[in-house]
Structures are given as structure tokens and as C-alpha cells.
Amino acid sequence: MRPARRAPGFTPLAVLFGLFVLFLYGPIATIAVLSFQGPDGGLTFPMNGVSLRWFRALFERQASAISAARSRAPPCSA
């Protein structure tokens, strides 16, 4: 039994869809790769070293915000 043939417009639409997905997710993937940039870098190519500096800054800021929110909260009474 032979597989069914695809419609004649399938291939151009598949290519168009692939380009659309690349257009949507390409910038996100680029920023994700560049977030590992070293301390002297920004959003530039080629990368200037590799570092987790931006992630450390993000998590330190979140931890300080959480601790500040907890210190302002009224104590729970039982």
C-alpha cells in the first residue's frame, strides 16, 4: 500500500512555518546563549568569555527581595 501524497502547497507552507518559528524563537535563543557572556561582555558577538555572573546577580536580587518581604510581614499568631 502506497502512502498518500501531500498536497502541492504543503512544502512551501512548511518552509514558511519553519521561518515563522525561527523568527519567533530565534531572538530568545540568542539572548539565552548570550546570557552566559563574561563580565566584560554585553549582547555582543563574539562572546567575551563564559560566566554565570548574570544568573548570580538575578538570584541574589531575588533572595534579597524575598528576605525583605518576609521581614516586613506581620508575625503569624497561633
Amino acid 71: pLDDT: 73
Amino acid 17: pLDDT: 97
Please check whether residue 51 is in contact with residue 42, taking contact to mean a CB–CB distance below 8 angstroms.
Answer: no
Q: Which residues of the chain have pLDDT under 50?
A: none
Give the pTM: 0.56
Model pLDDT for residues 12-33, shown as the tens digit of each residue: 999 999 999 999 999 999 888 8
Look at residues 74, 44, 12 and name the one whose alpha carbon lies nearest to residue 36.
Answer: 44
Contacts of 11 (CB under 8 A, 6+ apart): none
Look at residues 39, 55, 37, 57 and name the one whose alpha carbon lies nearest to residue 47.
Answer: 37
What is d(CA 49, CA 36) in angstroms, rounded to the nearest whole number?
A: 8
